[in-house]
Amino acid sequence: MAKIRKLEVEVRNMCCGHCATNVSKSVKEISGVREVDVDLREGLAFISIDEKADMNRVINNIREKITDLGYMVGEIKIIGGV
């Protein structure tokens, strides 16, 4: 079983549940992403990434997907793994 790494991504300009759903669905399409949980109130996306995925590539793809949706990406933190 592959280990999972976790990211905390600041997503700015989300204003409703539809925004959070769009971010979640879009980021889940990225190869290597396992789970996405968006906290609209805090403006954060918690993203689980497969250990074997190229972290830099995945982070770049996350930033691109979110930006393409019209939101701004702030700080991205690696918050651990399981």
Which pLDDT tens digits describe the chain residue by residue (82 residues)?
557 799 999 999 999 999 999 999 999 999 999 999 999 999 999 999 999 999 999 999 999 999 999 999 999 999 976 5
Task: Round to whole Å and give the CA distance between 20 and 37.
Answer: 9
H helix intervals, 1-82: 17-28, 55-68
DSSP letter assigned to residue 4: E
CB 38: neighbour CB atoms within 10 A? 22
Global pTM reads 0.92
- Cβ pair 11, 62 in contact under 8 A: no
Domain residues of the chain, as ranges? 4-81
3 state DSSP class of 79: strand
Q: Domain spanning 4-81 has what CATH number?
A: 3.30.70.100
